[in-house]
Structure 1
Amino acid sequence: MEKVKVTGTDLLSSSLALGGVPFGSKLNDEQSFALMDAYADYGGNMVDTAEVYANWLPGEQSVSESTIGKWMKSRGNRNHLIVTTKGAHPRMSTMHISRMSPQDIREDVEGSLGRLQVDHIDLYWLHRDDRNRDVGEIVESLNALVREGKIRYFGLSNWTTDRIREAQAYAASHGLQPFSANQPMWSLASVDLSQAEDQTLVAMDEGMFALHREAGLTAIPYSSQAQGLFTKLAEGRLSLDDDTAAPMYRSDSNRMKLGRIRTLAEEKGIAVSQLVLSYMLSQPFPTIPIIGCHSHAQLEDSIQADKVRLTEEEVAFLDLRA
């Protein structure tokens, strides 16, 4: 895989990050280790996880982090990886109660260090925001953890554009380390988050895109393949005309995009899934899509997208701007 530098850091990531949601839950240790081994063999070095994965299921809490920690320990490969995780997410039973205080953030960082079996985290993410909390306090809390050597760099996920700008401005005016990357929901699919079950999610929009382009801020998007939406539509496993497709994706825009995806994928001789990922890899600022794989076949299919880059005209065609 090609390498992508996370802007403003010394982190050099593989072009695709591997999603860690199923590790230790839907996939047992043996299956999880095998998939991460295969990803590493392809040159992958960033496995995305979070304190909350997969706490919505019965059983061990934060099992994804623990599984990745055991894998790194058994393989002795920690120094070859960008160790990353997310925290400051509300408890699953009380999603309406924020956990963004300095104490909450520190508690999650220290818990993640133990489960991942590392002495520092290379890129630490705040999983959610709390608009009622002063952004300066949040930036100060993260910088304190950097000074203590517990984390090196930090990013944010599910923050709105205005809060990102406010945080970056605070860091600049106080001589502090800013956020190094953003992890929004983002894919080729148009999305209506008013229809999402989780109303705390934030997707890439025009304003956020402009911010990334202006600042060169790195994007490491989740749901980068829209849960396989276009592949399933192309194969007839989903329809935009009934409840087989998620409500947030049922739109005329996605219907039009499907037609263009099919046309361009056929022209290039690649799978729909690979075109969807190559679109993400062809953005005008550093973009490292997180791929959600449960099998070697899915991983191999995604890796093939790394060989394809689209022109500005092709990206505009898929965006319905041409």
Structure 2
Amino acid sequence: MEQVKIPGTELTSSSLALGGVPFGSTLDEKKSFALMDAYVANGGNMIDTAEVYANWLPGEKSISESTIGHWMKVRGNRNKLIVTTKGAHPRMSTMQISRLSREEISEDVEGSLRRLQVDTIDLYWLHRDDRDRNAGEIMETLNDLAKEGKIRYFGCSNWTTERILEAQLYAESHGLQAFSANQPMWSLASVDPSKNEDPTLVVMDENMFKLHCDTGLTSIPYSSQAQGLFTKLNEGRLSFNNDSVAAIYRSNSNREKFDRIRILAE
């Protein structure tokens, strides 16, 4: 698997990251371990997880992090991996209440360190934003956590282009460490943000794409396969004709892309 240096860091990541949403929940520990073993055997070294995975289900909270932590402990491979996770997500019962105070970010970092069974997190993501909170305050908190050795580098997920620029400008003007990466929703599929059930999600648009091109800021997108949209269409499990396609992907643009993909695949 291709290895890619993340600019401005000492991290070299495999070109494909492994999504850890189902680990320990819909995918039991044995199957989770087998999948992570296969991923690493093929050259992978970044497993994407979060404090909130899968807290929407009954049972142990933050089970994905705990499962990955147990696997790293059993395999003794922590130093071969980029340990990464996300925090500062609203509680599932109060999605309208942001959690980006210094205390809340620190609480989530401490919890992730404990569950992952590591001393430091290589790449820490803010899972959501609080647009009413000054970006400089948030950058100060992240820099303090980096100085304490609890995180090495940090990035944002579901931040708008304007907010990313605000944060990066503050860091630059105050001699602080800036975001090393951004994790937006981005895939081959076109997305209609107006039909997104979760308004806190941010989709890569032209302005954000230009930001990445102009600054070299790394993008490590989520939903990079659009929830398997084109594979499921090809296998007949989804169809534009019966509206089984998720509303955010139900567009003429994606109909046309699917036709072009099939031609290219053949």
> Is TM more than 0.5 here?
yes
Q: Which residue of 2 aligns with 1:211?
A: 211
Query: What do residues 26-77 of structure 1 show as CA deviations (whole Å, max 9, x unaligned)?
Result: 1111111111001010011000000000000000000000000000000000
Q: Which residue of 1 aligns with 2:183?
A: 183
Q: Which residue of 2 aligns with 1:61?
A: 61
Give the distance between the partners of 1:240 and 1:209, measured in 2 at CA. 28
| Structural mapping, 1:191-230, within 5 Å | 191-230=191-230
* Conserved 8 A contact 1:241-1:250: no
Query: What do residues 229-250 of structure 1 show as CA deviations (whole Å, max 9, x unaligned)?
Result: 0111122221123331101100
Partner of 2:118, secondary structure, is coil
Partner of 1:231, secondary structure, is helix
Q: Which has the higher contact order (CA 8 A, sep 6+)?
A: 1
* Conserved 8 A contact 1:155-1:183: yes
Matched, 1:121 2:121: yes
Look up the equivalent residue of 2:198 and give its one-letter code: D
| Structural mapping, 1:1-322, within 5 Å | 1-266=1-266
After superposition, the CA RMSD in angstroms is 0.6
Residue 263 of structure 1 and its aligned partner are, at CA, apart by 1.3
Look up the equivalent residue of 1:138 and give its one-letter code: I
Query: What do residues 274-294 of structure 1 show as CA deviations (whole Å, max 9, x unaligned)?
Result: xxxxxxxxxxxxxxxxxxxxx
Partner of 2:24, secondary structure, is coil
Give the distance between the partners of 1:172 and 1:159, measured in 2 at CA. 18
* Conserved 8 A contact 1:84-1:124: yes
Give the distance between the partners of 1:261 and 1:166, measured in 2 at CA. 38
Partner of 1:141, secondary structure, is helix
Question: Post-superposition, which runs of at least 4 consecutive aligned residues in structure 1 deviate over 6 A?
Answer: none
Look up the equivalent residue of 2:146 and give its one-letter code: V
* Conserved 8 A contact 1:123-1:155: yes
How many residue pairs end up in the alignment?
A: 266
Gaps (5+ residues) in structure 1?
267-322
Query: What do residues 150-195 of structure 1 show as CA deviations (whole Å, max 9, x unaligned)?
Result: 0000000000000001111110000000000000000000001211
Residue 209 of structure 1 and its aligned partner are, at CA, apart by 0.1
Structure 2-normalised TM-score?
A: 0.99
Partner of 2:13, secondary structure, is strand
Structure 1-normalised TM-score?
A: 0.82
Look up the equivalent residue of 1:223 and give its one-letter code: S
Gaps (5+ residues) in structure 2?
none
Give the distance between the partners of 2:79 and 2:232, measured in 1 at CA. 38
